[in-house]
Chain A
Amino acid sequence: MPEPASAVALTVNGALVTVERGTTVAAALLMAGVATRTSVYGEPRAPLCGMGICFECRVTIDGVSHQRSCQILCEPGMHVTAPATESTNNAEGRQSSHREA
């Protein structure tokens, strides 16, 4: 099932990105060098499993947050926002709580 080599244009954080048809959003973000997610401690994260299991590739697609980008194909005109921030005002506190827990 070879893919037709037609291009798909989408935006990543407002910047125009062009990929081959059949490319997942996760692959497009890796190409663009954009982390998908900021972790609870504030670390940049990117896809790990590539197959919809690890949830590290969650991004906001067309305004909807927590979408697994490795399971979604790029569509023309799609707007992707990343990294999604998981940090909350409590992130610092959580860190210290782990140490004493």
Chain B
Amino acid sequence: MPASPANDHFDLLVIGAGPAGIAAAVTAADAGLRAALVDDNPRPGGQIWRGGAHLPAPARQWLARLDGSSVVRLQGWRVFDAPEPNLVLAEQNGATDKTANANPALAVLHYGKLVLATGARERFLPFPGWTLPNVMGAGGLDALVRAGLPIAGKCVVVAGTGPLLLAVAAHLAERGARIAAVCEQAPRSRLATFAAHLFFEPGKLWQGARYRWAARTGRFLTSCWPVAALGGDRLRSVTLRRGSRQWNVACDYLACGFHLVPDTELPALLGCRIVDGFIATDELLETSLPGVYCAGEPTGIGGVDLSVLEGQIAALAVCGKTAEARLLARKRRRRLGFVHALEQACVLDPELRALATNETIVCRCEDVPCAALRERDGWREAKLLTRCGMGPCQGRICGAAAEFLFGWRAESVRPPIFPALVSSLAWGPARQTQNFSAAGALSENSKETP
């Protein structure tokens, strides 16, 4: 169904159209609920099921089920506020408000139950040159390639940590990229432990196969990371370090991400309990807020299969199909060991803290160099006195870096959780004149905003 903005009510609202969100929305719609799926990207699929033709079979199946379902889709809409219980506000990407008083880009979405499937983003660590054009996230470059960027014949260095690196390298290689190196910061011993774990996870075996493939090519380097990206107006080469050895690799792109951090801004805004950075849920994925569920990476970084499972569990729980939900929950429990193993495998080497020099920009929105932050006493003081984290990304990029570099934890979340049109903040038309006296009135012929 096409997106219908403005004012609407849904039995179930799902935020995020990645694997977890799609599974949740489709499962609920199949059970007869009026479900809506809201997502920031131009296409459904999230970061992992992005880009049509090159997807594995399960992805194609779920996307086809979504196409055939009654789910109301608001694709290209981002949720920026939750001003009241059972209500979120979303705004359409690229839309503007030329009329000032009737904002066509704003959707007021009422819901009975909510599934938060907000996904995860990459963790970026600052190092000299990381702000150069063509230095991107690993998932970032992958997303751009899936969004139309030709990569055939380009030379790419993939670096950082986590299984995403190999997935990205394999995908880019399929598209014709030349992968100069895949640099994993973790030591080989730790990865071996993790790889062993994969054998207990049938769904992950293809990833294990990929790991062995990459290891055989000889371009998969463990205990290795970039120390500098070089170039003038854009990237020309990367300096890599492995132990005491340091060398230069010419390349067109550096795809560099240090595992994933969950997108918890919306759950935090709603008031969901968060433990160690992840959303706390019960067995059926209900958060600390009754009627609000969470599925996918925000409950723990576990990958696609777990996300799909969690989406189904949450939807079944929402539908009251508790027995079915519990069956799947048992299956989920067996897989949670993988989440823990992955987390252990991706622990960052403390030496990575030394990558950022005094001049290295940490906050890209406000161009705050590392030196300005070293003297600060915490995240709040850093924000106030250097403007770190005060730009439009709202600390989504530098926050995770600052947490690693300085041990600072971001403070509470405030609306809007994404930048929004000023007019979208004036969303409650009926309330504006009823309860509040404006300080003064304009002349008679210019009426109060309704």
Contacts and interface: CB of A to CB of B under 8 A. Distances in A.
Given A49-B397, A64-B96, A39 B144 contact: no
Interface in A48-97: 48-56, 58, 61, 64, 66-68, 70-74, 94
Contacts of A27: 144-145, 147-149
A45 B139 CA distance: 18
A101 to B, nearest CB: 5
A43 to B, nearest CB: 6
Contacts of B121: 49, 51, 53
B430 interface: no
B93 A71 contact: yes
A2 B372 CA distance: 48
B367 A41 contact: yes
B143 A46 contact: no
Contacts of B143: 49-51, 70
Interface string B75-96: 0101000000000000001101
B364 A35 contact: no
Contacts, number: 149
B137 A48 contact: yes
Q: Is the interface of B mostly helix, strand, loop or mixed?
A: loop
B307 interface: no
Given A48-B397, A50-B139, A19 B392 contact: no
A16 interface: no
A75 to B, nearest CB: 9
B147 A70 contact: yes
A53 B396 contact: yes
A98 B148 contact: no
A23 interface: yes
A24 B150 CA distance: 12
B53 A2 contact: yes
A50 B144 contact: yes
A58 B131 CA distance: 15
B391 interface: yes
B386 interface: yes
A12 interface: no
B386 A72 contact: no
B182 to A, nearest CB: 18
Given A24-B148, A39-B364, A71 B233 contact: no
Contacts of B327: none
Given A24-B42, A49-B137, A68-B93, A101 B144 contact: no
B301 interface: no
A54 B394 CA distance: 9
Given A27-B148, A51-B139, A53-B393, A44 B133 contact: yes
A35 B233 contact: yes
B375 to A, nearest CB: 7
Interface string B239-261: 00000000000000000000000
A10 interface: no
B350 to A, nearest CB: 24
A19 B234 CA distance: 22
B94 A49 contact: no
B360 interface: no
B67 to A, nearest CB: 8
Contacts of B145: 27
Interface in B107-149: 121-122, 124, 131, 133-137, 139-145, 147-149
A26 B93 CA distance: 14
Given A98-B372, A101-B386, A52 B53 contact: no
Given A48-B140, A72-B42, 14 more contacts: A24-B42, A24-B144, A27-B145, A30-B134, A30-B149, A43-B361, A44-B233, A48-B137, A54-B364, A61-B94, A70-B144, A71-B93, A72-B94, A98-B386
Interface of B: 40-43, 47, 52-53, 60, 63, 67, 76, 78, 93-94, 96, 121-122, 124, 131, 133-137, 139-145, 147-150, 233-234, 361, 364-369, 371-372, 375, 385-386, 391-393, 396-397, 419
Interface of A: 1-3, 19-20, 22-24, 26-28, 30-31, 33, 35, 39-41, 43-56, 58, 61, 64, 66-68, 70-74, 94, 98-99, 101
10 contacts: A24-B42, A26-B147, A27-B149, A46-B134, A50-B140, A51-B121, A54-B393, A54-B397, A55-B365, A101-B372
